[in-house]
Structure 1
């Protein structure tokens, strides 16, 4: 191998590293931009429904519609996760926006249960906690893979406890589940952030294919934020 060929390979390697670095920055930025936009859409949808008597009456008087929205949300999340590779970026983004709106419709009920002041306060607490844990997941050198397994088991237990509590309606179980839920989603925020970072560290470019994975990353962090907010609201929210 002569000098010119070695020099060419060295320049080519540096160029690939530079391109990968640019792609990483662009993709991580898109994750947080999309997540933030989804939160804004959800908040506007929730407040819009809560302040519209007609829409509120339709939702509260029609349980079938409420369950239909829940079912649609589940299908959208499952569909995005399983079929994102077969979708265009435009379709995937549209589904994410639709999910954000539907979730806002469902969350409109919190405005009838908790005071606006406590909702605002808990949102700020959630944003601060989320920010700290996401930063930790981003900068830590510790491998959080083991966290993922433990947190998923805890999440399954939390779901089971929530279903059981629908029938027993225990205030004590609700409070315990709320504290466990906070711990689970605080941990998931750090874990998901690190997982997203590792996925994009070797991204060759920021093309449409990788942007769809950035959208999925935004969806994961969005779900972490919303669930953390709801569990904190159950603990610290002041009822109307």
Structure 2
């Protein structure tokens, strides 16, 4: 699992509470309760509620739901699938018949931030990578791939909520005084891509191509369809 940086700018439990903090906490917990009544903010409020649990527990989110609901997340996952499929094809051309691949992190600048308010609030600037088991039978390449995502849920100095413009300092304050705690979150999507060689027409390498090399070069295969050709294999986010 790649390292997940804890980029705290409001350091946990480093300051004393002062006059006004109690009223501010009551206001934000009331906002949380109102948000929990909105079905379109279910993932955002779940993670915000966990922040208020003040235990730093690593918490799962539903990355399959994010794929369905958020166009940017869908593009990120589809790109990961296509890059992995080209890498699998390269290894298969090198004569391998059964193998496992693990990719590095998708470059930060290549990840599109979520466009829906729910997922902006829930995972924001997250990181993504994948691993896959590949089988080659004749000219068909079948790939079972899991795309993993993780995020460090916190609030940052100098930043603000995208949808409302509210400064992160309002909620970061609760971490500073030890009333709420940042946490790691994670999710995954597993898909089965049958007959990858039949659905992809990649640029033919002369030798096996590593997943990281393709990613570093920022190349992509030419496709006859979208990555949705890969069927969900039925693995939800872990709990």
> TM-score range with shorter-chain normalisation?
under 0.3
TM-score for both structures, normalised by structure 2: 0.22
TM-score by length of 1: 0.22
Q: Which structure shows the bigger proportion of residues in strand conformation?
A: 2
Higher RCO (Cα < 8 Å, 6 or more apart): 1
